[in-house]
Amino acid sequence: MYGAEFQIHPKHLADMLANAVDIGKDKTTHPLIFLAASGSTLHVYGRGRYTAGRDSRPFTGKDQFAEIVITEDEASELATALRGLEGAGRKDTTITVTMTERGKLAVQSGEDTLCDLPDADTNQVSFGMPDEMSDWEEIDLLLNDFRTRRPPEITRFAFQKDILARMNKIRADSNVMDIALHPTGHAVGIALGSNFRALIAGVDRQSFATGGKWGEGPGTPEQLWEA
């Protein structure tokens, strides 16, 4: 059965939404947040130009399946509302989340409705065509590669430092950040706590050293470790 109704702590959902917004601060091409209920776990995805992330946390309710897209602004506003709830700091506080088939996202606290949002991707652009992978499926596939494929023997990897600053904003249950090279050699994976996983695309070192377009560098190889 498609659709979901479940309970989750307001702070957990607020943190998930905020993490998805923060991981894609440069949302020039992907200004959307994707929510998917699968089994008894809620996944919230965010994506930027060079980054992508997924926050996964359990909820209370029967095994369910539903997915919906909201805007970055809607996610931020809902996160703020959730943090401001009376009792949001108590461990036993819960809210009720309802997701219908690409129809709406409703969040209730008792008798109060915090949001009733229509799907922001009514044309289903981010879901891809029937014969191609969606933006969100691609994130899952790339993250799964860390379990199934071995990385190449690369000892140097470059990326833009402002991206690393975003990691400091991520809300997780640990401050230990585990970094692994993706099997393609073109990205690194970030594991932060038990709930958050992210991808950071690397700078093409050769293009950066020669002033190539993708690296957007000044063509100064002395800024990199020698090959």
pLDDT of residue 85: 93
**Number of domains forming the structure of the chain:** 2
User: Of 173, 150, 127, 100, nearest to 30 (Cα)?
Assistant: 127
Summarize pLDDT for 72-109 with one digit per residue, the tens: 999 999 999 999 998 888 999 999 999 986 579 999 99
Residue 218's pLDDT band, with cuts at 50, 70 and 90, is low
Pair (12, 66) in one structural domain = yes
Pair (92, 10) in one structural domain = yes
Asked if residue 195 is part of any domain, the answer here is: yes
Pair (113, 156) in one structural domain = no
Report whether 141 contacts 133 (CB < 8 A).
Answer: yes
Final residue in a domain of this structure, among 122, 155, 189: 122
Name, in order, each residue with C-beta under 8 angstroms of 16's C-beta and a sequence gap of 6 or more. 42, 44, 55, 57, 195
Pair (165, 115) in one structural domain = no
The mean-pLDDT minimum among 66-70, 146-150, 185-189 falls in 146-150
Report whether 57 contacts 209 (CB < 8 A).
Answer: no
Q: Is the pLDDT of residue 217 over 80?
A: no
pLDDT of residue 148: 84
Residue 215's pLDDT band, with cuts at 50, 70 and 90, is very low
SS3 109: strand
What residue numbers bound the domain in which 71 lies? 4-122
Pair (11, 118) in one structural domain = yes
